Chains A and B, each alone.
Chain A
Amino acid sequence: MSAIIKIESLTRVFDVSKPWLNRVIERLPKALLTAVSEVSFEIEENSVYALVGESGSGKSTIGKIVVGLVPPSKGKVEVEGVDLATETDASKIEAVRADIQMIFQDPYASLNPRWRVREIINEPVAAKGGDTTGLAERLLEQVGLSAKDAAKYPHEFSGGQRQRICIARALASGPKIIVCDEPTSALDVSVQAQVLNLMSDLRKDLGLTYLFISHDLTVVHHMADKIGVLYLGRLVEEAPRDRLFDAPKHPYTQMLFDAAPRMDAFGREVEPPKGEIPDAINPPTGCAFHPRCPIAVERCSKERPEMRRIGETRVACHLAE
């Protein structure tokens, strides 16, 4: 097993300042939002790596950086040994680009309503001048739709079927890696099961690697081999699936697990977590989680914890053991 994606101290800062004139008149400083801060991890070939976190934790930004939709501010993303941000050999970049595809959250917004399904699926190949004869028909059957559907428009399909079309499009260029940004959160439970099963089957049949981004812990538990937990743009814990769910080490991970609704917890009375995710423009000093952390000590508010390895788990907490 080797790492197909290597991410090293990845940082992405967005400038969310007001327009220049307002800043001068109102004497405001620049506002910088650090969406991703010093995140490092590796994804093994043919595995599912899941990123979980609440809104604003930077999980989608990481996904977009990996596929090259957003450039990183600092740090390195290596896909199959090629750093897309600095590589100058165009043929290498092109080869890697074809190996990464993406599936988006909203299957209603990610398909062009004026194109037929055939054109949508063929586009990634046709754009490079490849041969598309019978491609859409073959892929549609592979994702559980029928070849006849190629002549239809997206509005003729339900949400689950549209997500299958998105998957077919992602498969068109014969990729090795698929970045899935909340692929099932717009779908109903029974349809979600169909799409997740399809994704598992494709992974086995085609040897795919998934970077799976989700806020739903139950989905992540079902799909992932390894899970990274993000909080305010920082990776706070990373562990293989069972390790993480059996023995979460970071207090945030523990809070997240306690807060998630469970189907076997009838009338459960829990002390709900306190507070909310802080403002990413002015994050707390030290450990970003310390204002909400039940076990925080003084050191947590001063010193940002480094990623430490404890057994199979990597955790960024001064107190975890």
Chain B
Amino acid sequence: MTEKTPVLSVRNLVVEIPTRHGILRPVDNVSYDIHAGEILGVVGESGAGKSMTGNAVVGLLDRPARITSGEILLSGQHIHTLKGEALRRLRGKMMGMIFQDPLTSLNPLLTVGDQLTETIQEHLKVGQTEARNRAIAALEEVGIPAARSRIDSYPHEFSGGMRQRVVIALALCAEPDLVIADEPTTALDVSVQAQIVALLKRLCREKGVAVMLVTHDMGVIAEAADRVAVMYAGRLAELGPVREVLTAAHHPYTAGLMASTPLASQGKERLRQIPGAMPRLGNLPDGCAFHPRCDYAQDRCRANPGPTLDTCDGRAACWFPLNTKQKDEVSA
């Protein structure tokens, strides 16, 4: 990667939720960088903390969840300390967001054009006509046919895939440096999903935007991401270049996840399954959070403190990483 300052730099981020039964840590000591023009995929099962990490970055944590330690730097500037108005100005201008459900992230009472021009005028010093022209250009860019006539339509007049394009246009219209896409294709059909993934990749490359792509779909990650972060129970389990992580996982959880997708076991009678389920946050085991489900667990895995990326080989938070001896194993 380049030596330039990363667009987004998350350092030892901890998010805590105080509850009656003690303090929960949905995000526990997570660190990663995203550079300009790079797509970082964040995968994990539900409850792994992937969306919570994204929300913490844009400052959209719902109370009582809060950042208790660690820092978030956007182009070298601390943003985790910003509040209220200062943060609001940053959102949209510096960071764009794309959420899972395109219907609920658009205002049903305003036309698509109103929503786009509002965002553009809020963040860029332009007049009404110029804003409208930019809005049309933004819609054309995301591949909406006849943008000039569709701009005055309401969200319900668009199909699911077109709505998600509008949301992407909205996220990108103020030319942010960072886009956080939280399950952007989960609600969409396969053919539309392929269109949206291709669009995200193209925009990322052309505009040099840094993208954090949160999803649970390994296939989408493989096709779109440059690097991938695997999360488990609020912690980073593995972080590395997508090809290496997916073909030769170091963390047993990543390996189990890959093996349990139906794609990986073509022709076989049974799928490999990871026994059990992810532990609840209030009831995490000592040491490595994965050890009760891990085939390779040893005494060291059960002892505190658990493994982290820093204390292990830098790629997987595991005391006994897999696939480390094999070199250049490239399986098609």
Q: Given A261-B194, A270-B198, A218–B223 Cβ distance below 8 Å?
A: no
Contact assessment for A273 and B194 in the assembled complex, using a CB-CB cutoff below 8 Å: yes
In the complex, identify which listed stretch (B2-10, B109-117, B121-129, B252-260) lies at the interface while the others stay far away.
B252-260
Residues of A within 8 A of B262 (CB): 192-193, 196, 216, 218-219, 221-223
Chain-B contact segment, one of A34-42, A85-93, A183-191:
A183-191
B190 pairs with A215, CB closer than 8 A:
yes
The reply to whether B260 and A261 contact each other, CB–CB distance below 8 Å, is: no
Q: Mark A259-285, 1 if CB is under 8 A from B, else 0.
A: 111111111111011001100000000
Interchain nearest-CB distance for A152 vs B (Å): 16
| A98 lies within 8 A of chain B by Cβ | no
In the complex, how many angstroms separate the beta carbon of B290 from the nearest chain A beta carbon?
Answer: 11
Contact A276 B223 (CB under 8 A): no
**A273/B191 contact (C-beta < 8 A), A192-B260, A218-B263, A266-B222 known:** yes
Binary per-residue interface labels of chain A (235-265) against chain B in the complex, 1 for a CB within 8 Å, 0 otherwise: 0000000000000000000011011111111
Q: Does A146 interact with chain B (Cβ within 8 Å)? A: no
Contact B257 A189 (CB under 8 A): yes
Q: Are A188 and B271 in contact (CB under 8 A)?
A: no
Q: Indicate if A197 sits at the interface (CB-CB under 8 A).
A: yes
Contact of B191 among A54, A265, A267 (CB under 8 A): A54
Interface centre among A197, A216, A222, A265 (most CB of B within 10 A): A222
Give the residues from 171 to 204 in chain A that come closer than 8 angstroms, CB to CB, to chain B: 188-194, 196-197, 200
Interface size on A, residues (CB 8 A): 43
Q: Mark B201-225, 1 if CB is under 8 A from A, else 0.
A: 1000000000000001111101100
Q: Is A55 an interface residue (CB 8 A)?
A: yes
> In the complex, what's the smallest C-beta–C-beta distance from B198 to chain A, in angstroms?
4
Question: Interface readout for B168-206 with A: 1 if CB under 8 Å, 0 if not?
Answer: 000000000000000000000111111101100100000
Q: Does A263 lie within 8 Å of B189, measured CB to CB?
A: no
Return the contact of A262 from the options B189, B223, B274 (Cβ within 8 A): B223
The answer to whether B261 and A189 touch across the interface, beta carbons within 8 angstroms, is yes
Residue in chain B with minimal CB distance to A158 = B277
Residue A233 lies at the interface, judged by CB distance under 8 Å to chain B = no
Please report the C-alpha to C-alpha distance between residue A197 and residue B262 in the assembled complex, in whole angstroms: 10
- Find B217's partner among A196, A221, A261 (CB 8 Å cutoff): A261
Chain B residues with CB below 8 A from A219, complex form: 262
Interface secondary structure of B, over-half rule:
helix
Cβ-defined partner of A190 (8 Å) among B219, B256, B269: B256
Nearest-CB residue, chain B, relative to A188: B45
**Which of A255, A258, A268, A272 has its CB near the most chain B CB atoms (within 10 A)?**
A272
Q: Mark A159-181, 1 if CB is under 8 A from B, else 0.
A: 11100000000000000000000
If A262-B263, A263-B246 touch, whether A193 touches B271 (CB-CB below 8 Å) is yes
Contact with A along B263-280 (1 / 0, CB 8 A): 111100111111001100
One digit per residue, 1 when the CB lies within 8 angstroms of any chain A CB and 0 when it does not, for chain B 19-53 equals 00000000000000000000000000110000000
Most buried by A among B190, B242, B260, B264: B190
Report B150 CB to chain A, min CB distance, Å: 14
Expressed in whole angstroms, the Cα–Cα distance for A222 and B273 within the complex equals: 14
A259 surroundings in chain B (CB, below 8 A):
190-191, 193-194
B1 within 8 A of partner (CB): no
Interface residues of A in 136-161 (CB under 8 A from B): 158-161
The reply on B159 being an interface residue by CB < 8 A is yes
Take A197-B273, A261-B223, A264-B222 as given contacts and tell me if A54 and B263 are in contact as well, using a CB distance cutoff of 8 Å.
no
Give the Cβ gap from A35 to chain B, nearest Cβ, in Å. Answer: 16
Q: With an 8 A cutoff between CB atoms, is A217 at the interface?
A: yes
Query: B332 at the A/B interface (Cβ < 8 Å)?
Result: yes
Instruction: Enumerate chain A interface residues (CB-CB to B < 8 A).
Output: 54-55, 158-161, 188-194, 196-197, 200, 215-219, 221-223, 255-256, 258-270, 272-273, 276-277
List 18 contacting pairs A-B, 8 Å CB cutoff, sorted by A. Answer: A54-B190, A197-B273, A200-B269, A217-B190, A218-B263, A260-B190, A260-B194, A261-B197, A261-B217, A262-B219, A262-B263, A263-B264, A264-B222, A264-B332, A265-B222, A270-B194, A272-B197, A277-B189
For the complex with contacts A193-B261, A200-B269, A258-B194, 19 further pairs of A-B residues with Cβ separation under 8 Å are A54-B190, A55-B160, A158-B277, A160-B277, A189-B218, A190-B274, A193-B274, A197-B271, A221-B263, A259-B193, A260-B219, A262-B219, A265-B223, A266-B222, A266-B223, A272-B191, A276-B161, A276-B189, A276-B191
